[in-house]
Amino acid sequence: MVEAFLKYIQFEKRYSEHTLTAYKKDLAQFLTYLNDTYEMQEEDLGMINHSIVRSWILELMEGGITPRSINRKIACLKSFFKYHVRVKNIQVNPMQRIVSLKTSKKIPEFVEESSIVKLLDHFEFESTFEGQRDRLIIEFLYSTGMRLSELLGIEEKDINLHDKKVKVLGKGNKERILPIPHNLILTIQDYLAHKKDEINCNLSNRLIVTNKGKDGYPGLVYRTVKNYLGKITTIEKRSPHVLRHTFATHLLNKGADLNAVKELLGHASLAATQVYTHNSIEKIRKAFEQAHPRA
């Protein structure tokens, strides 16, 4: 039953590898709890009720698991049981009376604009395939705000340099078109020239590839971003998603329309985008305090 669900979210729902791995781990943990506490097996799903699920949530809370992590596990179980109701493996969904825990809103970390400018305009990337790939990764993530998985999914044919746009396949298999700024176009052209000259491009259709021409992978991008952000910022978190946060924050600080930023990020709802407005409000507040005579 677990394997059928995992195949469903992988091939039909097109969930990311990260989500797939997390859900697989969450379900294994839940099944272990069922077996240890209630002597239930995977085949006993129809016997599970909301009280059993709540008892697991309570154990997680007592174990010091954060509300954010618990909510992800709740989301996993909601998808899991909804699927099995749909395929008629069970009749009653035990998650109908389960609600997510309240969490404090986490303000996204971002890199200051001056630091990004320093990296992209003044740092000398090596004039090699690897050096140009590093620059492309940093500049692509910052200039478009796309997710790590979206960057790794791009093929060369998805990029239209003439019309300055790139096609991206986002969450839920939703496609969107993003504009490419002029400086990024130049970086793409330099990278593709090095890729053609130095790498066996017959091994992969992906834009981002390894030194051996194989598909790029998350660890490659993580290491690249962490390395270069470490040269310009002291913030604790230096991940690809920080560049996505930075993209959104800088746009809003410059007065970009919130709905436009939502579309660029590929958010399903405006609420997900509004978290970035906090940084913009803080900037306005500081300007007010410095300039207003009654502040």
Domain count, the chain: 2
Where in the sequence is the domain holding 24, given as residue range(s)? 2-86
Whether residue 31 is contained in a domain is answered as yes
What's the pLDDT at 287?
58
Whether residue 97 is contained in a domain is answered as no
Catalytic residue check, 135? no
Host H or E run for residue 57: helix 50-62
Catalytic residue check, 171? yes
Distance of alpha carbon 209 from alpha carbon 217, whole angstroms: 8
Q: Which residues contact 196 (CB under 8 A, 6 or more apart)?
A: none
What's the pLDDT at 221?
97
Residues 159 and 255 in one domain: yes
Residues of the chain with pLDDT under 70: 104-105, 278-295
Catalytic residue check, 223? no
Residues 172 and 277 in one domain: yes
Residue type, 75: A
Residues of the chain above pLDDT 90, percent? 72
Of the residues 14, 171, 176, 226, only one is catalytic, namely: 171
* CATH number, domain with residue 20: 1.10.150
Whether residue 103 is contained in a domain is answered as no
Catalytic residue check, 122? no
- The residue from 67, 86, 105 where one domain ends is 86
CA 235 vs. chain centroid, Å, equals: 19
Residues 138 and 229 in one domain: yes
Residues 15 and 68 in one domain: yes
Of the residues 73, 135, 147, 245, only one is catalytic, namely: 147
Of the residues 84, 133, 135, 244, only one is catalytic, namely: 244
Catalytic residue check, 276? yes
Tell me the backbone φ, ψ of residue 175, rounded to 5 degrees. Answer: -95, 140
Name the pTM for this structure: 0.68
Whether residue 24 is contained in a domain is answered as yes
CB distance 50 to 97 below 8 Å: yes
Residue 244 class from Cβ within 10 Å (0-12 exposed, 13-18 middle, 19+ buried)?
Answer: buried
Catalytic residue check, 191? no
What would the pLDDT profile of 213-256 be if each residue is shown by its tens digit? 999 999 999 999 999 999 999 888 899 999 999 999 999 888 88
How far apart are the two ends of the chain, measured CA to CA in Å?
61
Round the CA-based radius of gyration of the chain to a whole number and report it.
23
